[in-house]
Structure 1
Amino acid sequence: MYSAQAEAKPVLKPVLKLVGSGVVMLLAGCGMGMDDATDYAARTFSGNGEQIYYTGRSQAGTAITYQGGTMHAQMHSTSCASCHGDDRQGKRLYPKFWLVAPALTRHALTEEHDDGHGDHERYDKNSLKVAIRHGLDPAGKGLNTAMPRWQISEEDMDDLVSFLITDSH
């Protein structure tokens, strides 16, 4: 006698193994390819803007908070460097490997017209502040929602923007 249930058991077992392995890999790899802000804790920084970029904390010890971003950013302490990289060249985002955070070098922000993430004018200090706080490029178009919207004091913002625009990376 034919039983659909008997036939399903051999198929179900490999599927469950595959799903279980995927969950284990996801949990084990959480953070894989991402630099958490705590990775930079022992580093010495030349100024407040650089410290904010790498750690998400000001030199006064204030955490720079944010809303949105990737699932990883929402689950972990993150910073600009977590997505844009130690060298500020940008990198693939975890877990959305098809997205690449753009470079945040002085050249990419102020000298190139198209950063590969939309055709817009160069950033200046004011438009960069708008991008960081509100997620809008210089043309007023929304940045990808993977970019967190940062709540940051004006003094800390000035230091961060100055670091991004004047640093030679």
Structure 2
Amino acid sequence: MDSVQAVTKLAIKLAVGGVVLLLAGCGMGMDDGSKYGSRTFNSNGEQIYYTGRSQSGAAISYQGGTMHTQMHSTSCASCHGDDRQGQRLYPQFWVVAPPLTRHTLIEGGDDGHGDHQRYDKRSLKAAIRQGLEPGGEILNTAMPRWQISDEDMDDLISFLISDSH
């Protein structure tokens, strides 16, 4: 076998291996909220956080986010975690979603994403809908921009600033 054939075979093996890894990791770090299907939620905001759906059953739509987010249904918990402490994002492992706890959002705790002003209800709405920090800086584009009703937004924010988790 000549060197061209050997290189071609190696390239094919690497390409097939890459596709297999991509497909195998397709669900990594993201979910459609179905793992919470049998869970009872204490509030509409909690349900939205974990499932991306309101208690009425309507999906909360979004634009942007990671390529993986754009390909799959997602929720806040998909990136920010079940414990609201944040986590590395798939497939962009170098991006870490910040914690979404009362301490980091409105009490000024360190979220690991540099220094920013504390959030209030108005600035949380801007972060969720427009991807803006309290000072107007643009959040990482991995953060989806959510199209959410005012009522559902108020419920979600109440959950985020609660002492839950």
State the TM-score, normalized to the length of structure 2.
Answer: 0.95
Aligned to 1:79: 75
Displacement after TM superposition at 1:62 (Å) = 1.3
Larger Rg: 1
Q: Residue in 2 aligned with 1:154?
A: 150
For structure 2, the 5+ residue unaligned runs are none
3-state SS of 1:166 partner: coil
Match of 1:31 among 27, 34, 57: 27
Residue identity in the other structure for 2:113: H
The residue type paired with residue 46 of structure 1 is N
| 1:121 aligned onto 2:117 | yes
**Paired positions, count:** 165
The CA deviation string for residues 97-144 of structure 1, in whole angstroms up to 9 with x for no partner, is 111000001111111254222321111111101100000000100000
User: What's the % identity of the aligned pairs?
Assistant: 73
Show the counterpart of 1:165: 161
2:13 is aligned, of 9, 12, 17, to 17
Of 126, 133, 136 in structure 1, the residue corresponding to residue 132 of structure 2 is 136
Distance 1:167 1:79 in 2: 20
1:68 aligns with 2:64: yes
| Structure 1: segments with no counterpart, 5+ residues | none
Cα distance, 1:18 vs structure 2: 1.3
Shift of 1:36: 2.8
The 10-residue stretch of structure 1 (120-129 or 11-20) with the greater mean CA deviation from structure 2: 11-20
C-alpha separation in 2, matches of 1:141 and 1:68: 17
**CA RMSD for the aligned pairs?**
1.4
State the TM-score, normalized to the length of structure 1: 0.93
Contact preservation (8 Å) 1:113, 1:119: no
Q: Identify the match of residue 55 of structure 1 among 51, 56, 77.
A: 51
Deviation of 1:163 (Å):
0.3
